[in-house]
Structure 1
Amino acid sequence: MNNFRFFLLFLATISMTFVYSNRVVFGFTIICQQGGNESDDTTSVIVDPDYYLLDTLNIAWMFTATAVGMCLGPAPFYFVGFLSTRVLIFTYGIMSALSSILYPLFDSLGFWPALVCRFFAGFAQASQLHFTNDLVLRWTPESEASFFFSIMLATSQFGPLFTMILGGEMCSSSFFGWEATYYILGVGTFISSTAFAYYYSDNVEKNCNLEESEKKYILAGKHSTKEKEKVPYKALLKDSTIWISLLMFTGYYLAMIVYQQYSPTFIKQVLHFTIRETGYFSAIPQLIAIFIKIGCGRLLDVKFGCGPKLTLVVPLLILESMSAFSLFLTGFLDDRVWSLIFMMIFASLHFFVPVICSRTIQIRAGQHSHFALNLNMVIAGIAQILIPLGVQAAVPENTRSQWSFVFYFLVITVVITSILYTLFSRATPAEWTMKKRASEYTIYRLSDISPPEPITIPMPRECKF
């Protein structure tokens, strides 16, 4: 099959989108679960006054269970090294599918069964950055690495975009209800993850679906090891660029998690829009962010003759400065329409940050980047544990002034992390990634490349940063 790598990219993106959706869906359907199905011309009806989700502390624990799952999700990768990646893809996919399919049943059984479902939704989603890194390192030519990365990282937009619209329609429907959202996501996860696992393989050279020309194009200049190289944990954890990238990831997660988990609540209960409007207004930034993320990701591969550091820093500073200013105006302005508009602008621009951070880690850590990216998922999980508790403490009465304080705090974190990355990060391979082992050998020389339909782009002279 010609251009098989793009077919595999498509399957990976669909699978990861559903897995991501299973983690974030609760943040939207909780509105429906608390008040029953609500259409635009009806009022919400609370069926059971003892329903566990009417307690804000129980809601915080549901988000916390998902976060704990994210912290623990990457751990099995370092104990089941004998399993192939396709087995792990299938296993985590099935786990994610069951966490959604069983959730309506477990919700009816009470708090603890529902909590277990949310734990495994987070546990399964924690694997996706590991699989993304693996696919980019194995299946992507160097000239397309950022493009592939940006598309797969866009699942953090594809998922909420699809889920918000689906959840909004199901919650507003008198026929389906919020339960249908979980059933659709669960079945979709099972089908897409099975297909992804079936076509994926760790060994690109032996994959029977690849034509020889595409195989050479993918493997040009890459190396293969007969044994897995041990991660130099000490050197990696002492690298300042790794920690700066992780710190920037932390700043990103703080703002992103607040937006994805609480924007439906803020738009509906503070800005006073309907459930259906809330679904679409929350989804619009996700749609815009997809085009920004993929477009800028492609430009990172082109480079325009600039060095790798400048290529990464310029789009970061442009997008994050506009993003921070928009978030500040969201909290500063009293008009609900303008607050909504600037909130959507903020989210549209801010979602590009993971492309910069992930690409920096991959350039810096090379073949060991999987460990740093898995460490990033642990940080994301910790952020998810602390954020619900922090939000509950910061906005106990859910007022505009309280939310403004949260937005100002996020603006400060965005500005500080962007400055630290610009001044102190390095976009070059670390010395501890360049140690050659006797078992390492080049699969194809660059002169052996014969890519299908090559494109020649005249490039200006490279500049250094």
Structure 2
Amino acid sequence: MQQSTEDRPESDQEDAAPLLNQQLSLGKGLCSARYSLVLILHFSLFMMYSLRVNLSIAIIAMTNGTNPGSLTNSSTDVCPNRSHAQPNGSHRAFTQGAPVYDWRAETQGVILSALFYGYLFTQLLGGYWSGQFGGKLVLGYGLLSTSALMLLVPLAAGLGAVYLIGLQALLGMAEGVIFPAQYMLLAKWAPPLERSRLIQLAVAGCTFGTFVTFPAAGIICQYVGWPYVFYIFGGIGCVWCGFWFLLVYEDPACHPHISAGEKEYIVSSLANQGISHGRSLPLLAMIKSLPLWAIAVPCFCSEWLFYTLLTSMPTYMHEVLHFDIRENGLLAALPYIGNWLCAIVSGVLADFLLSKQVFSIATVRKLFSVLGMMLPAISLVAVSYVGCDYTAAVVFLTLSMTVISMCGAGFYTKHMDIAPRYAGFVLGVTNTLGTVSGIIAPTAVGFLTSQDLLTGWRNVFCVSAALNLFGRLFYVTFGRGTIQDWAREDTALQ
């Protein structure tokens, strides 16, 4: 028997109140305006991640296959070579004619990490600008700038590594505004009962872009030449931005073709969140807000695990498990298709639980956060103890990267739950911390694995797992599902 509203705790009443008054009856189909927007966002984030990761593949051809790292220790604590593993240089030779640069491993590392320093710089600005000027313009110009700058990568590389590092930082700055702007845009379009699935459908474009770009960029490098990786992806990005500005509208009221029923449904379901913020931000109240910290802390912890796998899983497969280049590329791409599918399924499932009033918003977010952080942590600990069991190691690594996407239906959606008016800025705050972990984690991997590889990687996985479990505990303790007082519309400023 369902519990009555009067019998529920006060916090759950406030949490469930806006849901009990909504009906999913109008404009629900995949052809609705809001789902069309999410599909466009999906491909926009697909392009963003394609532009972000293509250098990771192209730099192999740019440096004539120079390994970004090599074993500097004499440890024998590694797995034995498998009988079918091929020598490192056995892969197909890259096309002739493209320039090749003599960059040391350290230089390559700086080039690849430079994007994140720029990316770190504009997270808060992107959130603030999207609140003032709208998510459509900020995201559109951010993606257009990223695409245009990508066309200059071959020129910058030819001028020297310093120029390419500077260009990478600029690319990061252009990309940094995209995620906060996306959240600000969805805050105006996503009804609470559909928020999980809409966000997850949009963000799934990131991992799908990674999955496609890894093999596509390798093929382009082999058959056409590495400069065309940047010309092709940059050109497609510029063309796509034209469709973005033509097809995207800031909110339902601006859309000329949305049905009256869908517009009324969206507007009425979001009526209690207030309008977008202007120049004023309640910074002191944000700093004191435990529910906001309850998003930021697990974001840092989960991004540590994610970036550890993103940047170091191919290295682990090569140096410890001895997969050759062809095997490594395929196996490194597989977890991203699992991540993509799990993101979509978890978003639909979370909204189903909310629509059936099985759990409150706070409970649903905590459930998916716990699963999305605990299961990857367990999987990584398992990897650290399976040793040289190649099949088990790959299965657990894939499971870890796949299940972590469930966090998208958990605390990553909380920005709109606790502060819809400031969703872009709050996302900028938490994403900044996540980017910091993305900068620190690869350095920590290098430090921990500098001696015995198996022992070092065991420490890498255990540290990532421990951080994930701490983030889960922090969120479950302090996470809330209601709009915070500092995020409510201040009529005094009208």
Provide the TM-score with structure 1 as the length reference.
0.85
Q: Any residues of structure 2 matched to 1:268-279 within 5 Å, and which? A: 268-279=318-329
Structural mapping, 1:132-281, within 5 Å: 132-171=182-221, 173=222, 175-223=223-271, 225=275, 228=278, 230-281=280-331
- Provide closer, same or farther for how the CA distance between residues 406 and 35 of structure 1 changes in structure 2, counting only shifts above 3 A: farther
The Cα shift of 1:103 comes to 1.5
What is the DSSP-based 3-state SS (H/G/I as helix, E as strand, rest coil) of the residue aligned with 1:426? Answer: coil
Cα distance between partner residues in 2 of 1:376 and 1:227: 18
SS of residue in 1 equivalent to 2:253: coil
Match of 1:127 in 2: 177
Instruction: Give the TM-score of the pair, scaled to structure 2.
Output: 0.80
Aligned partners of 2:429 and 2:277: how far apart in 1?
23
Between the aligned partners of 2:470 and 2:303, the Cα distance in structure 1 is: 14
The residue number in structure 1 matching 2:488 is 434
List per-residue Cα deviations over 1:264-306 (Å, max 9, x = no partner).
2222343222323222211111111112111111122222421
Q: After superposition, what is the alpha-carbon deviation per residue over 1:116-151, rounded to whole angstroms, capped at 9, x for unaligned?
A: 222123222222221221221112223211111111
Indicate which of 362, 370, 391 corresponds to 1:309.
362
Give the whole-Å Cα distance in 2 for the aligned partners of 1:46 and 1:251.
43
CA shift at 1:434, angstroms?
A: 3.0
- How far apart, CA to CA, are the structure 1 residues paired with 2:47 and 2:227? 16
Separation of aligned partners in 2, 1:105 and 1:160: 24
**Residue type of the alignment partner of 2:381:** F
Deviations 1:201-230 (A, max 9, x none): 224213213222222222124346497373
Equivalent positions of 1:2-401 (< 5 A) are 3-36=32-65, 51=101, 53-56=103-106, 58-77=107-126, 78=128, 83-171=133-221, 173=222, 175-223=223-271, 225=275, 228=278, 230-303=280-353, 304=356, 305-333=358-386, 334-396=388-450, 399-401=453-455
Deviates more, 1:254-263 or 1:126-135: 126-135
Q: CA deviation at 1:312?
A: 1.7
String of CA shifts for 1:13-63, please: whole Å, max 9, x gaps: 111211122223333333443344998555899999x9453232x233223
Per mean C-alpha deviation after superposition, the further-off stretch among 96-105 and 226-235 is: 226-235
CA distance in 1, matches of 2:97, 2:276: 61
SS in 2 for 1:53: coil
Question: How many corresponding residue pairs?
Answer: 437
Verify the 8 A CA contact 1:241 1:424 in the aligned structure 2. yes
Residue 161 of structure 1 and its aligned partner are, at CA, apart by: 1.0
Q: CA RMSD, aligned part only?
A: 3.0
Partners of 1:36 and 1:47 within 8 A in 2: no
8 A Cα contact 1:256 1:351, kept in partner? no
Q: Say if 1:117 and 1:275 are closer, same or farther in 2 by CA, change over 3 A.
A: farther
Q: Deviations over 1:54-99 (max 9, x none)?
A: 232x233223321111111235444697645433233211221123
Confirm or deny: 8 A CA contact 2:143 2:178 kept in the other structure.
no
| Partners of 1:70 and 1:126 within 8 A in 2 | yes
The alpha-carbon deviation at position 327 of structure 1 amounts to 0.8
Structure 1 position 423 matched with structure 2 position 477? yes
Which residue, 414, 425, 428 being the options, matches 2:468? 414
